[in-house]
Amino acid sequence: MAKYFGTDGFRGEANVDLTVNHAYQIGRFLGWYYGRKKQPDEKCRILIGKDTRLSSYMFEYALASGITASGADACLLHVTTTPSVAYVVRTEDFDCGVMISASHNPYYDNGIKLINAAGEKMDEETLLKVEAYMDGISGEIPFAYKEKIGCTVDYSQGRSKYMNYLISLAVKSYSGKKVGLDCANGSAWMLAKQVFDALGAETYVINNHPDGNNINENCGSTHIEELQKFVIENHLDVGFAFDGDADRCLAVDENGKLVDGDAIIYIYGRYLKERGKLTGNKVVTTVMSNFGLYKALDEIDVAYEKTAVGDKYVYESMSDNGYRIGGEQSGHIIFRKYATTGDGILTAIKLMEVMLAKDQTLSQLAAPMKVYPQVLVNVRVKNKKAAQEDPAVQAAVKAAEEKLGDSGRILVRESGTEPVIRVMAEAAEKAECERHVQEIVDVIIKQGHQEA
C-alpha cells in the first residue's frame, strides 16, 4: 500500500506533511520516468493544474523545476479544475498530468494528484515507484543537460478546450432558467459561470473571489447552507455547489432542499433506464450511500454495485463493467461516457439535462428517494489501523449491528486521506443513530486511540 498517496493523492498541511521538496522530487521522477522511452528528438510532456490555494503556486513551481530538470516539458494550465486536467491529458496526448489541490480540505492543506495518459488516476504500481524514489530506495536519477533540459509552457488554451467540451454536452438551451453557482472560492470560480452563461442561463454566482486563503471557507459543497439560503432569497430554479477543485457537485432544489450525490445517482440512473441506456441495468455506489437510495432503486428495478469509499474505486468498477453512472454521496459523480473522473460542472449540466428533458423541477425528480437519518462522526486517531482492529472497538461495532438488525446499519472505516476513523450509522430515527455512533466513539477514545 502506498505510503504517501492515499485514495485521492498525496495530501497534508502545506510545508508540514507535504513539502516543496516532496513536489520537486515527484516532478524529478515523473520527468525521468515518462521521458526515458522517448526518441532522442522528442520530449516528455507533463500537464500541471492547480487550485486557488496560496501554496498551490509554490508547489506548481517546485513540480515544474523537478520536471524540467529531468528533461521533460511542464505545461501549465494554471488555476483550473481536476477534471479539466484529466480531460486535457487524455485528449491532447500528454504523458501524464498533475493536479495540485487538497479538494474540500481547508486552505492550509494541499495535495498532489497524479493522472495517467488516459486521464485516469495513477495506478498503484507507478505510485509505489514514485514513493521509492522519494524515500531514496531506488537511487538517484540523472539530470538533463544542455539542450535536453525541459521548459515550462503556458497551456491555458487547454482550459478553453475543456470549457468548449462541456458546453457541447448540453442538449438544450438554459434560457429562462435561473441558476445559482457556489464556486467555493476555488477552481470553478471562472469556469462555471462562463459555461452556464454560454448555455443561456440567468446565472447567479457566490464565492467566486478567491484570495488564496478562503477556498472552502464556509462555502461550497461542504457548507451547502449558504447556497440553500441564496437559492430561496433569489427565487432560483436550482443551485449547484462545487468543492475546491470542482470534482464534486451537490445540488439545491428550488425550495432550498439539498439534493446530494445519492439523489443525483438516482435521478440520472432512472433517466438512463427510461431511455434504455442504463448499461447492465446498474449504477455504482459506495458503502457510504444511504439506505434510501437502495430502496428507491429497488422500486424502479435498478440494480447497484457497492465499492469502497473513493471515486477511484467507483471508476474502476464502472470501467471494468461498462456502467454509465456512479459516484459518492459527497458529490463525486462519474459519467463514464463523458469523463474519467468526478466532474462537478459536468454533473450540473447532466442534472439540467434531466430537468429540461422531463420538464420537471429538481424537487420533483428527487421526490421518490426518501433519505434515512444518517449520523457520521470523525475521530482523529494516532493509528488508523490499530483503532480499526482493536478487539474492543470491533465488539462495540458488532453489538450495535445486532441491535439494529435489518432496520439500519453501522459502518466504521478509515479515511483514505486523513488520520481519521469515520463512524457512521443509519436507522429510522436520528436519535438511534446518534446513540450507536456515540457508543463506538466512546470505546475508541477509552482505548486511547484518539489523537491528543
- CB distance 243 to 184 below 8 Å: yes
d(CA 251, CA 311): 18
Q: Which of 53, 9, 83 shows the shortest CA–CA distance to 417?
A: 9
Looking at the DSSP assignment, which residues form a beta bridge with residue 214?
none
Return all residues near 364 (Cβ < 8 A) that are at least 6 apart. Answer: none
Q: Which of 452, 375, 394, 384 shows the shortest CA–CA distance to 418?
A: 384
Give whole-number Cα distances, 336 to 283, 323, 330, in Å. Answer: 11, 7, 18
> What is the number of residues in the chain?
452
d(CA 35, CA 402): 56
Quickly tell me which residue has 445559482 as its cell: 180
Which residues carry out catalysis? 103
Quickly tell me which residue has 470560480 as its cell: 189
Query: Is residue 301 marked as binding?
Result: no
Q: Which of 179, 229, 228 shows the shortest CA–CA distance to 205?
A: 179
Beta-carbon neighbour count of residue 427 at 10 Å? 23
Query: Is residue 65 marked as binding?
Result: no
Query: Is residue 243 marked as binding?
Result: yes
Give whole-number Cα distances, 108 to 12, 87, 137, in Å. Answer: 9, 27, 30
Query: Is residue 245 marked as binding?
Result: yes
d(CA 113, CA 327): 19
Classify burial at 452, counting beta carbons within 10 Å of its beta carbon; exposed 0-12, middle 13-18, buried 19 or more.
exposed
d(CA 127, CA 2): 7
d(CA 423, CA 444): 10
Give whole-number Cα distances, 102 to 172, 250, 261, 418, 430, in Å. Answer: 34, 18, 20, 11, 31
d(CA 352, CA 167): 12
Binding residues: 103, 243, 245, 247
Residue ranges for the known binding site for Mg(2+) are 103, 243, 245, 247
